Structures are given as structure tokens and as C-alpha cells.
Amino acid sequence: MISLIAAALLAFTPQKLDVSVNVKPGEAISGIRHFRIMVVSDDPVTQVEFYVGSELRDSDSSIPYEFDLDTIEEKDGDLPLTFAAYTTKGDSAKKVVVVKINNGVALGSAVHVSKGIDYLHDSKWDQAIVEGRIALKASPNDNQARMVMARAYLGKRQLDKAEKYAEDWQQSEPQNPDASALVTDVDLHKAFDTYSRGSDPGSAIKSIQDAFKAAINTRQTVLESGMERIGRPTEANLLQYADAAIISGRYSLAITALEPAFRKHAEDPAYSDRLAYAELNSGHLEDAMNTLGQVEKLAKLDPYGSAMMAVLQGIASNPASSDKYLAQAVSSDPQNVGVRTAQAFLALRSHNTAELAKVTADLNQDAGEKPEVNYYLSALSDERGDFDQGRTYFETAVYAEPLSEEAYLEEGNNSLNFAATAKGSAQDRKLRTDSAVAMYQTALECRPESYRGLEGLALCALFSGDKANALKYALAAMKSAPTQPSTHFTYAAALRSNGKHTEAFQENQLAWKYDPVILRGRAVPTGMEAFSYFYKFDRMPVMAPPAK
């Protein structure tokens, strides 16, 4: 009897059920707050619920019981939170905590944008996102907050979200070059991701080519707007105009603007260096040589001018003269980035991997953000056969400057070289050739008169058996750079493939004329022989532009 009474009393005795949480009443919380709930119970717990105010936000049925609160979605001020636990026997217990939401919205967006930018500099992407969101809550149309959000999501490789905020900024400020550049950056990241993960290589090539084209067009639009703001070249704005034209790859405009000033002030490197640089990069090597030769007669070449002369002598296969001018440049200004990129080019042209590694290591330490430096890092990796690393540096170069014509050409050359020399399947060789075509076409997007882009397309057509296009592109390349030996050599190969043997012989002799050291005495080339010369000896110099 006594035991029955005790059992009855026990049945009506409340079971132990207690809820605690890792937040204190009145505690100020901000950002994304994580809660851990501890439940002490004599009976199994079926569920724990999380309420914000009176609204059920979430529930959890397994240990550990955890919830997140995005406080940025709430108003600053007091906010009651309730954590409720339930057992298998139907018992329940609640823990109510009133916290204070304090994200500092009242401080205004500028404060949080500034904090977000600091986090971006430290690659603290999540913290930057929090500050950007608070800034947008304070000011929903703040474009600098959108910038913080886009760059933070880009850092996290959440590209769809990065794209949204970048495009919101661009739509709000369509003339802002920074907004356009950010959209371009996101597009390029999406393209490279597609290319690296693509299960359909042909579709991936098309995707990345479209992204390159969009990035190039955006960059060109920004640069053209800058030139329009500068206006027509005058004595007062001439150097600013020339620099803008050079950056845009519009070398003929720079040459036309600079020539009158150079005739009056041939001894001034501000004019001569820019003029020779534009002539060099447009493929008019004789003109560049004449410009610098005239300066040398009237005055001493400055270090940058000496470096360019070293490059020109190297291309002309005059190694002793090239070494002399390069020694002058290095001894006068060893830290000049233009001089050091000239060193890198000459080492690359001679396939001196050890020297190229030394120069690029120093450049990477001092100017690793420059597209020219990343081009040489990419080329060095390719020389070593480390094509994955080479692609990484290629991507960095294009991010830094979508108009990196030589970077696209380098990628095209590598793809075509693989197609020409590797023993893969016919399908794989075609894919590599298609990739090369995409890169050469992209180089032409940068600069439609790019003779090396045209020459690359001619060689791709030769390898594909497309004789008509081989002839068309080779002729266009030769007309674009009539003093370049490679254009005549490739045109001779295209003429030969089309059965035009007399014309091929004549073009081959012109190739001898412009490169008597390597080409004189060579027979009319096959497509493979033309590509071998193009690949080994026809890299154009990538020099950092003359300092402003």
C-alpha cells in the first residue's frame, strides 16, 4: 500500500527541465549572432524552438541545439528572444532573454563602408560583408557599400552575389569607371571558373572568349571616355593625351600626336620615349630605332630609352649591341620597372630561364600587381613546362589589365604549340587549336591591327587545312607589319599551301631581308616551320610604359 502511494506521488512530481543560453539579459549583440542552447531534462527532448519576438524563426531536434540570428535584419534596440524546449512527455520550458540589437545603423553608412574597406584590405570577407550590409541598411543606395559587398563576395568566390552588387553599382553610376571595372572583374572570374570546371570544353572556350570580349569592351569604353575628357591634343595636355592613347593601345594616335613635339624637342625623353614606345608596340621597329638613334645623336639616351634600344637590337639579332645598351640602362637606373621588363624580355627571347627567373622574382616582389610582371611570370612558367601555374599568372595579368594583348597571344601560342607537337587525339588537337583561335581573336579585340593575332589565326588555319583563311589572315598580318620577318615567312607558307610557289619564293626572300641572321638561306616554309619561327622568335616586347 505504501509503495503504491509513493509511486502515485512520484508520477505527479514535476520532472526536471531547464533551458539556458549563451547570451545575457540586456547584452548588446550585432552582426550574425550564434546561440547555443543547453537543455537539462530527466526525459528525452523532442525539440527546441527559437522565437524572435512572437515569431517562430527556427527549430532544432538534435544536440547540439544551435541557432543563428541575423541581427542586421532587425531594428536596433531591445528585442525579446525566446528559447523553448519540449520533452517526450509533453513537458516544456522557456527561456526569455531581452537583448539589445546594436549594429550602429545610426552612425551612418560612411562609418561602416570605411570599416568594410579595412576588412577588404585584410581579406576578411565575412566581416566586410557584415559592414557592407549595415551600410546598406543605413543608406540602401550607397554605391560604396555595394562596392564593399561585391568585392567581399568576389573574395569568397560567391560570384553570383558579387555580380549582383557590382551591376547594381554600375546601373546607378553607368559612367563610373570603377564600377565598370568591377563588373569586368566579376565577369572574368566567372569565365575562368567556367573554363577550369567546364565538362564541355568547347562551350567553356566560347564562354571565356565572350567574357574576355565583354571585359575588353568595358575597359575600352572607360579608356575612351578618359580620352574624351582630355580632349584633342594640345601643347598643355600632350603627354596626358599620349599616355591615355598608349594605355588604350591606340598607338597610331599617340604617334601622330607626339611626332611634331619630338621634331622640336628630340632631346627630351618625355617625348622620345613615348614616341619610340608607341612605334615599337605598333610593330614599326625601324621607326622606333630611328627615333632613338636621332636622340642618341643629339643627346644621351635616358635609361628607359637605352632599354628600348637594347630590345630593338635584340630583336635585330645584334646581341653585343643589345648587351651594351642594356648595361647602360641597368647601371643608370636599376630599379626602373621599364628597364627591368626589358631585361625580362631579352632573357625570354633568348630562352635564358635562369636570368628570366631572377628578373621576374625581383619584379614580382616590387611590382607584382602590374600586368607586365604577371605576363613574364606566366611566360617563365610556360618555359618551365608548368602550364597550370602559367595560367594562374595569365589570369592575374588579365584581371589587372583586360587589354593585355601579349598575355592572350602567349596563351594562344601555348595552345597551338600543344596542338602542333603533342601526340594527343585528333579531337584533343582540334580543341587546342580552337582554344588558340579564341586567344588570337581576343588579342585582335584588344587591337584590331595586331599582326601577331592575325598571324596566329593564319597558322591555326594552316594546321586545320583551311587554305583560304590561312592566305587571308597571313596577307592581313603582312600588311599590318610589313617589316616584320615573321609575317613574310608565314605568308610564304600560306602561299605555298595554296600552290602559289612563285609568290611564296618572293615572300620568303623578304623574310630573309628582315631577318638575315636566322632566316637567310631557309627554304619556303611549311606551316609547321612558320609556326616554329613565330613561336620561338616573334614575341613582341612587353615593357612597362614610360613613367608619367
Task: Tell me, letter by letter, the H, E, C secondary structure of 474-532.
Answer: HHHHHHHCCCCHHHHHHHHHHHHHCCCHHHHHHHHHHHHHHCCCCCCCCCCCCHHHHHH
pLDDT at 233: 95
Shared-domain flag, residues 92 and 126: no
In the predicted model, is pLDDT for residue 141 greater than 60? yes
Q: How far is CA 106 from the centre of its chain?
A: 38
pLDDT at 8: 47
Shared-domain flag, residues 459 and 505: yes
Average pLDDT for residues 268-274, to the nearest whole number? 96
CA distance 216 to 439: 13
- CA contacts within 13 A on the Cβ side of 534: 35
CA distance 23 to 498: 82
Q: Percent of the chain scored above 90 by pLDDT?
A: 76
User: Buried (b) or exposed (e) across 289-311, using 16+ Cβ within 10 A?
Assistant: bebbebbeeeeebbbbbbbbbbb
Shared-domain flag, residues 56 and 119: no
What would the grid cell of residue 32 be?
Answer: 550574425
Average pLDDT for residues 251-263, to the nearest whole number? 96
CA distance 467 to 459: 10
Place 215 in a pLDDT band, splitting at 50, 70 and 90: confident
pLDDT at 305: 97
Average pLDDT for residues 124-128, to the nearest whole number? 95
Element (H, E) at 99: strand 92-101
Shared-domain flag, residues 63 and 119: no
Shared-domain flag, residues 56 and 115: no
Which of 219, 252, 272 is the last residue in one of the domains?
A: 219
pLDDT digits (tens, 9 = 90+) for 37-68: 999 999 999 999 999 999 999 999 999 999 99
Amino acid of residue 102 = N
pLDDT at 424: 73
In the predicted model, is pLDDT for residue 195 greater than 80? no
Average pLDDT for residues 480-484, to the nearest whole number? 89
C-alpha closest to that of 470 among 479, 481, 480, 460: 460
In the predicted model, is pLDDT for residue 407 greater than 70? yes
Average pLDDT for residues 103-128, to the nearest whole number? 94
C-alpha closest to that of 454 among 499, 484, 496: 484
Which of 219, 252, 281 is the last residue in one of the domains?
A: 219
Q: Which of 5-19, 26-40, 97-111, 157-171 has the lowest mean pLDDT?
A: 5-19
- CA contacts within 13 A on the Cβ side of 388: 1
β-pairing verdict for 92-101 and 28-29: parallel
Average pLDDT for residues 262-284, to the nearest whole number? 94
pLDDT at 200: 63
The DSSP output letter for 86 is E
pLDDT digits (tens, 9 = 90+) for 520-543: 999 999 999 999 999 988 888 999
In the predicted model, is pLDDT for residue 197 greater than 90? no
Shared-domain flag, residues 133 and 31: no
Shared-domain flag, residues 214 and 123: yes
Shared-domain flag, residues 413 and 534: yes
CA distance 6 to 530: 103
Shared-domain flag, residues 30 and 144: no
pLDDT at 199: 52
pLDDT at 3: 56
**Domain presence at residue 314:** no
pLDDT at 177: 84
CATH of residue 37: 2.60.40.10
In the predicted model, is pLDDT for residue 7 greater than 60? no
Position with higher pLDDT, 75 vs 387: 75
Domain count, the chain: 3
5, exposed or middle or buried, with CB in 10 Å at 0-12, 13-18, 19+? exposed
Place 385 in a pLDDT band, splitting at 50, 70 and 90: confident
C-alpha closest to that of 544 among 378, 371, 391: 371
**Domain presence at residue 379:** no
CA distance 377 to 336: 18
Task: Give me the sheet containing 92-101, strands edge to edge.
Answer: 28-29, 92-101, 77-87, 45-52, 55-60
**Domain presence at residue 48:** yes
**Domain presence at residue 238:** no
CA distance 219 to 250: 13
Reduced to 3 states (helix: H, G, I; strand: E, B; else coil), residue 140 is coil
**Domain presence at residue 343:** no
CA distance 405 to 512: 27
pLDDT digits (tens, 9 = 90+) for 462-479: 999 999 999 999 999 999
Shared-domain flag, residues 55 and 141: no
Shared-domain flag, residues 447 and 528: yes
Place 95 in a pLDDT band, splitting at 50, 70 and 90: very high
Position with higher pLDDT, 195 vs 204: 204
Q: How far is CA 27 from the centre of its chain?
A: 45
Which residue matches cell numbers 587549336? 433
In the predicted model, is pLDDT for residue 2 greater than 60? no
How many Å from the N-terminal Cα to the C-terminal Cα in the chain? 104
Shared-domain flag, residues 41 and 128: no
Average pLDDT for residues 450-461, to the nearest whole number? 96
**Domain presence at residue 116:** yes
Q: Are 312 and 285 in contact (CB under 8 A)?
A: yes
Which of 204, 219, 234 is the last residue in one of the domains?
A: 219
Q: Are 406 and 453 in contact (CB under 8 A)?
A: no
pLDDT at 365: 94
Dihedral of alpha carbons 449, 453, 458, 464, sign: negative
Position with higher pLDDT, 6 vs 495: 495
Torsions phi, psi for 396 (to 5 deg): -65, -40
pLDDT at 9: 47
Residue-number span of the structural domain to which 512 is assigned: 408-548
In the predicted model, is pLDDT for residue 420 greater than 90? no
**Beta strands in 44-89, from DSSP E residues, in sequence order:** 45-52, 55-60, 65-70, 77-87
**Domain presence at residue 284:** no
Place 203 in a pLDDT band, splitting at 50, 70 and 90: confident
Please state, as a whole number, how many other Cβ atoms lie within 10 Å of the Cβ of residue 236. 8
In the predicted model, is pLDDT for residue 324 greater than 80? yes
CATH of residue 422: 1.25.40.10
pLDDT at 387: 85
Place 13 in a pLDDT band, splitting at 50, 70 and 90: low
Q: Indicate the average pLDDT of the chain.
A: 91
**Domain presence at residue 321:** no
* Angle made by CA atoms 118, 124, 128, in degrees to the nearest 5: 60
